[in-house]
Amino acid sequence: MDAITYLTIIVFMFLVGVLATMLSNKFRIPNVIFLLLAGIISRAIIVRFEIPEIPSIFIIITSIVALALITFDGASRFKFKEFDTFSILGLKIFLIFLVLCLSVITPVLIILLKFQAMFALIFSSMMTATAFEVLSIFIKKDNLRVSELLKTESILNTPFTVIIPFMFYDFFKNLSSTSVYIFNILEYSVPFVQQLIIGIGSGIFVGIIIFKFMRKYYSENISPIALVVGVLTTYVLAEQLKGSGVLAVVVLGFFFGNIHVKKKPILQEFSSLISESIEIIVFLLFGYFFTLPNNMHLILMSLLIYAISLVLRFIAVTLSLTNYSLKDRIFATLVTPKGISFVAVAITFLAYKIFPDYFFELLFLVFAYSILISTFVIKRTSFHQIEERVRK
């Protein structure tokens, strides 16, 4: 496949993404839904007219770039000096929800769907991802206190819901199918810890070099590009040294978000713009590759697993939000859409080509449930709020 074909794919994706976003704004529906549908339709067209499929190298490069930039953007929004009551509550919900998912959903996947331990743990940790910004088209009408809390939780859990699945992957990839005994686990813990140390060290090393200059100097043309190059350099350096590239980018993001950098708001706006542009391609790829399964058993199991996750979410919310009303707790339970971090991780694991198809089919179904239910609940909430204002 030549360069023009690659360029055609990119242009086509951005064109479809722009059209999908325009339709979402017109019909007040999250653009994620239109992007997924566009991806599914694109796949059908390619198959119908025997057009060459998207090459794997394009998927791998796109997933790596998207994962690095999106992870950095999410981590950079985590500011220790702005840690307030909402931040504590959001982090508490996430941590309790994470523990519950790992403790309950993992054995359910292993028993009912015969998942390997690695796949089950990765899937369970991904279930904790939330992205309230997916519903940003409705947020302006929602002045609920719980809405602000959910937005804060989304910002806080993004870096963790990206790095935790890769931590499980990095640990288990060193284990053979028979190396599940405690002695083997302890033996392979050493290289796993080394990966973490290298990842942290790479993030700090690149951060010191780049941000040392950015603290004093700013160039309208060079600084934004230097930031993106720094993010990708951090990921590549950590991976080349056999460390965790995702962890390195998370550390770099924390670094950037919590130190003084000249014209930081402009740089953050540029970073978010790049991330949002890449999101279009990632969501399209998600729809392109992950279609609805024909296996009715898997569909029923997906409904069961999602229902279990909602119960666990309600428990986490109830334990954390003791001073909130039942209505607010139900709202915080149901409005948990999965977003770009969830999708970027899924696309990256797809590129590894070691995960079974039913793993991704299950991810797609859970993603669809979360978007549809969250959209329905928040639209109903917005409607009732407007209706109450009219009555008053």
pLDDT tens digits, one per residue of 147-191 = 889 988 998 898 899 999 998 998 887 665 444 455 555 666 777
Q: Quote the CA–CA distance of 367 and 134 in Å, as a whole number.
A: 12
The closest alpha carbon to 166, from 340, 352, 312, belongs to 352
The pLDDT of 209-236, averaged and rounded, is 89
- Integer Rg of the chain from CA: 21
Kindly report which listed range (168-182, 232-246, 320-334) carries the lowest average pLDDT score: 168-182
pTM (2 d.p.): 0.87
- Inter-residue contact 63 to 170 (CB < 8 Å): no
The pLDDT of 96-103, averaged and rounded, is 97
User: Tens digit of pLDDT for each residue in 252-278?
Assistant: 999 998 888 888 888 888 888 888 788
* Helices marked H in 49-135: 56-76, 85-112, 117-126
pLDDT for the residue 142: 47
Q: Which domains does the chain have, with CATH numbers?
A: 3-391 (1.20.1530.20)
User: Tens digit of pLDDT for each residue in 11-47?
Assistant: 877 788 788 878 887 887 888 888 888 888 888 877 7
pLDDT for the residue 263: 85
pLDDT for the residue 1: 58
- Is residue 178 exposed (0-12), middle (13-18) or buried (19+ Cβ within 10 Å)? exposed
pLDDT for the residue 383: 44
Kindly report which listed range (101-105, 279-283, 377-381) carries the lowest average pLDDT score: 377-381
Q: For residue 198, how far is the Cα from the chain centroid?
A: 23
